[in-house]
Structure 1
Amino acid sequence: MTEEDIMSNFMKEYNEIRKNAKLLHFTDAEIDEIFLNGLKHVKTPKSTTFTKITKIILSIVLISLVIYVLLYIHQPTSSLVLRNVQSFIYPGFKVIRNLGIPIISLFPALTALYDETCLVENPYFHVTNLDCYPCEHVHSVINLTGLSLNHSFYESGTPFVINDQRNLVFFADLVNLYQENSIIFDQNAPWMITSNNKSFKHIGNVLNNNNIQFSKDNFVHWRINRMLPARIIRKLFPRPSFISEWSGQSIERYVLIDGPKSPGYSLPSFECSYVFVVQGSGERDIILEATPECKDNCRRIPIRLKPSYILWYNWWYWKPLSLPAENSTNVSISYVSSHCL
């Protein structure tokens, strides 16, 4: 039955009731009052549903508050729950894992999430009362090539560059490394690329023998966060000489391939706070922008990163931008990683 049919039947019943009421000598005013009193007791399904949803939400909030008070504020209850729950933690995780196996079997690409330290980055993360002394009196990025660096200096957070006297890394070197280890790269880090070239769906599209020529305005940012490909890529980009072998390097790293006219972008964030950028070949202009917590105390600092130079900074104080170098004609190959000192 359509809405028009329902309204037509309603009006027929309505007129019939009014006609019978008049036969019983009711006035029009009395008939209208009877209808209004009857409608006051009618509840629409929408209002009823809304009332039920409101009650459910309030109940959940109330239960959550009670649980929070009992587990985090009332110490005797918290201790009792912890003592009794601990024995169920590992069996519970085992049950969850077994329940997840069919899902992983249907969507094997989800296994890549195992290696993620953070699935969703908090865009509103902000450090309150951050001491900005490492960047307050920095007016330029100093060149420390040839100097002996100790822990106290590069742990201070002051940015610097150093020529590590390493071999240059060109686009052809990346192609050769990929061709020699394509199985490992395709299994462990194929899809983790960002590019403005829609034909680059995975790293195999980029690093193949037919793609030696890289367009001037193209960029490809290749992210690696697994141990096997990370070990291989370190053949081209070994650990900087001034960093101690005992420091903890993050597995996550990026290989940035930029044409001489590719657009600018912000360097990625990392788990470890000390970040280094190795310029394998080509040139990029890096702008060290002070973080929001330090922008009132620290200034922006530009530097041109030349081949074989390494830029060192702390992302607590700096959020660098990478821009194409003026008058550059070569493809830029950069390698970015981080250390937890």
Structure 2
Amino acid sequence: MSIHFADSHQFKSFVKFRMALKIVNHDYQSHLKCYLFSDFYDAECLLDNPFFRERTQECDLCMDTHEVKLMTESKHWLVRRHCQQQQPFVFKPKLVPTVTFEDVVDLYNKNKDVLDTSVARFYSSDQEVPDIGSLFGLKDNDNLKKKTGLSVNWVSKNMVSSQILRKMFPRPEFVPPESEVALEKTLYIDGPKSQLFEVIGGFYQAYEECSDVCSPLHVDLKEGDIVVFGPAMWRLNIMPNMEDTSIVYVGSFTV
């Protein structure tokens, strides 16, 4: 089973990135010859800005949202409106893509050299699966299911790996053509009883400062559904996965 998640990416991270670069150029210019900075080309932020504060949320954007809209047609103007108003929605494609664990293993084996070097972060709940090589070394879903409770997530911020992943997870048709799609991609693979993800449902919950005036929103999900939400306003909590393997692909775009 597979499902896509996307968030309407805000500009905060780009601002922090530019500020970090400015600080590095100013404070560490004399040390540039001593360090190999190419290792940080894919980093989202090189140095935290201690003065940065999240913008206070405008709770009126979510207090009148009582349901998750369903979309079956690519209406770009409607996508822009939902994103700008921080209204989550679920896009149900007419042709549902089926992605199995074996499909991802095959993609990895064909692009192993590139993907092995594209890992920005990798988390695994199983010490016997410490990296993507050991994950895809399981080869098929039957072996994956033997790893009861296994949960992994793999973050890539590399342009080449992003192009490879797009072959399996193409750009959603509802994303406006002028929108910029972020390089960062995350792939979640969770086995039975992982306690983390399941593709049948979940609920949106507003951030804490708005939770007293904004109600949680339940959503039922099918394989291939694309869930879209603004991360500045909403968190998406997914119910535990108890029976089967789930594959979740996460990307973001600007509006």
Q: TM class, shorter-chain normalised?
A: 0.7 to 0.9
Higher relative contact order (CA 8 A, sep 6+): 2
Normalised by the length of structure 1, the TM-score is 0.59
Which residue number corresponds to residue 182 of structure 1?
A: 112
Give the % identical residues: 27
Which residue number corresponds to residue 212 of structure 2?
A: 296
Deviation at 1:162, TM superposition (A): 1.2
1:28-59 C-alpha deviation (Å, 9 max, x unpaired): xxxxxxxxxxxxxxxxxxxxxxxxxxxxxxxx
Deviation at 1:209, TM superposition (A): 5.4
**Partners of 2:240 and 2:39 in 1: CA distance:** 32
Deviation at 1:316, TM superposition (A): 1.4
Answer whether contact 2:74 2:174 (CA < 8 A) is retained. Answer: no
Which residue number corresponds to residue 251 of structure 2?
A: 337
Answer whether contact 2:185 2:251 (CA < 8 A) is retained. Answer: yes
Query: Which amino acid is the alignment partner of residue 218 of structure 1?
Result: L
3-state SS of paired residue (1:283): coil
Query: Which amino acid is the alignment partner of residue 97 of structure 1?
Result: L
Q: Do the aligned partners of residues 99 and 182 (structure 1) sit closer, same or farther apart at CA in structure 2, a change above 3 Å counting?
A: same
**Alignment partner of 1:258 is 2:172:** no
Query: Which amino acid is the alignment partner of residue 171 of structure 1?
Result: F
Query: Which amino acid is the alignment partner of residue 237 of structure 2?
Result: L
Deviation at 1:284, TM superposition (A): 4.5
User: Which of 67, 76, 84 does residue 155 from structure 1 map onto?
Assistant: 84
Which residue number corresponds to residue 204 of structure 1?
A: 133
Larger helix proportion of the pair: 1
Answer whether contact 1:179 1:208 (CA < 8 A) is retained. Answer: no
Query: Which amino acid is the alignment partner of residue 167 of structure 2?
Result: K
**Partners of 1:175 and 1:204 in 2: CA distance:** 10
Q: Do the aligned partners of residues 119 and 259 (structure 1) sit closer, same or farther apart at CA in structure 2, a change above 3 Å counting?
A: farther
**Partners of 1:312 and 1:139 in 2: CA distance:** 16
Any residues of structure 2 matched to 1:32-51 within 5 Å, and which?
Answer: none
**Alignment partner of 1:311 is 2:231:** no
**Partners of 2:109 and 2:102 in 1: CA distance:** 10
Answer whether contact 2:206 2:215 (CA < 8 A) is retained. Answer: yes
**Partners of 2:85 and 2:63 in 1: CA distance:** 12
Q: Do the aligned partners of residues 210 and 241 (structure 1) sit closer, same or farther apart at CA in structure 2, a change above 3 Å counting?
A: closer
1:131-160 C-alpha deviation (Å, 9 max, x unpaired): 223311122212122363412233321011
**Partners of 2:207 and 2:220 in 1: CA distance:** 20
- Structure 2 stretches of 5 or more lacking a match? 1-23
**Partners of 2:27 and 2:186 in 1: CA distance:** 36
User: Which of 46, 55, 68 does residue 127 from structure 1 map onto?
Assistant: 55
The count of corresponding residues between Structure 1 and Structure 2 is 225
Deviation at 1:254, TM superposition (A): 0.4
User: Which of 120, 124, 128 does residue 195 from structure 1 map onto?
Assistant: 124
Deviation at 1:92, TM superposition (A): 8.1
Deviation at 1:264, TM superposition (A): 2.7
- Structure 1 stretches of 5 or more lacking a match? 1-88, 105-109, 266-281
3-state SS of paired residue (1:221): strand
RMSD, matched Cα: 2.8
**Alignment partner of 1:167 is 2:97:** yes
Which residue number corresponds to residue 171 of structure 2?
A: 239
